[in-house]
Structure 1
């Protein structure tokens, strides 16, 4: 005869589950706070060398002195361990957190392959399980303080890139293509996916742009020419650079020994890669390695002006419950009321359709005195100032209460205005 469990037991289990969920959310936010730049490397189709680009971006940045994490989110076809010569399984620390594989002094790697006893095992998972694994790869891994987290996703616009966009609100996309039209057609879908998912695009990389003849030095356009640059111009996104087809890269990947990247790197591929890395560094604008301190919270910070009164309202643009970097295209606004220097209430409101000048007027009509945002155009900032609304930009992608409490305590860390228009 079946019996039901006592109600007090069910209540205890539910409370324990809520506490664990809250603790996991806190771990995730704390981990993201310690990672300065998050880059999602994606492509519209397979075979464009996306994983090679992700590997060389991470490896190259680490050799330039930046602290880098490389997360292999291609759960069904992980290839990064092979390209970096990684074998064996992960270690686990005393708190049962995964310890990333240390490739060199500045580069750490996490891949599903390092959780499999047999590297040839097939991973057969549906979307919810993949979402949970990607979340754990961020929150349950001891990444430490990073300048860059490079995330390699499988081709297409399916579960993995969507999960990354939801889990890491301030991630930026690096889209990889080859010059031929069949690849460019798919990459345009990736660009539109990013726009619909409110995922900012750092830029487009054209891979396998040509084979440089080792004898005469001329470039042979194996897959066409200039397709990536023209697509970037037509779709109004930054073009980060072209990488030529290089047989040595193929050989190095098979051997698990990537080509050394440095200021004196020679050869068409490495010279082009250095140019690509310079573009990435410039667009992310992190501090120079020699200027960095041990605490990430001191990086690219700026003085945060304080309100002159203890009673005011704060508006924060939201996406998936966290601060949204795209101020003008957010889903909702959280409006928090501060009384006597403490948060008294919170409400969420849906903004009117985005048109120039509409949001500053609408937010001012809600009685808001302060806006905390990731990025905002200078015109919008001026319109807010005209209405007596103070604006803070460069805030991290955290929940509204954490942002406002940090502001009230005088320890809100802000960086550069991330608006790209």
Structure 2
């Protein structure tokens, strides 16, 4: 039985103090995820413009609408990490933090006088999440690495697109996001271990490794058979039938690769002969005749609308779906029912719809507690206690 959430949930990470020194995507996404579930995230930004994400993609009143997603629930402190006084203040903030998150090139944090070893010596409980292109060790550690490069090195880019054509990117910064999620997992594991040992540790996440970790059987297939998987367009190599098919007014994805599902799909498209074919009873046989199966399914979808195809698939309990645009998402009743279309009121009184909180926790769910901050909006509130303590200590 699902427990009803508290009316005003603080979140399971309430009381956790996080110091974010990163910018753009990977580090800030990890911090955003922790903030969504109650962590108090202090984001340190350069006074001269702040995080460049503030000005990425489409702007509303001079600020990226993406910023309202990536930095919700955070506080902003404007400090120049190149300034020794700012470095001293950050060291004091680190003494009070449970987690520090950074995604600079390896060595940059040390260059700011903020080496994790020194910070952890002063505060043994501190957990430091370091996200970089290639990790903190190895021959490539000093190379600059963005998510797109990591997607290529991790094996994903080679698989994307159509056979014989230049590989394409997936359309979002998936390498950065995967690294951020791996970073969150690492932080939560380190927090769990700290509960037993009382000690923090460094969580080292490389962008390319986060991508590579999601590449399924890519490496063992090469190890066992010398097989180098290549791009396959919209199909799922080695699993059939699963593909995108053209309808009269669009395209649909059909996943008929389970044995019983396949038989139901073939009956739905009036191909009982294929449903009864013993050679197609399992995936191995279907993969060998995948072109024939795709042609049969495509011939059926081509004469129908997307809605007609999906209605028939639903009736037969065959997985299928339309290819959603942003407009489809914004008007979808299931997204709405799952609280994934979250309306927030901006400081100017306008309403902006942003993605809801993931994952869903039954008793201590995440929440949108405050909008993304203006640059340096919380500098005085955060630093005043430090300065007062310094003054009291003489």
- Give the TM-score taking structure 1 as reference length: 0.28
Structure with a larger share of its residues in strand = 1
- Give the TM-score taking structure 2 as reference length: 0.29
Higher radius of gyration, 1 or 2: 2
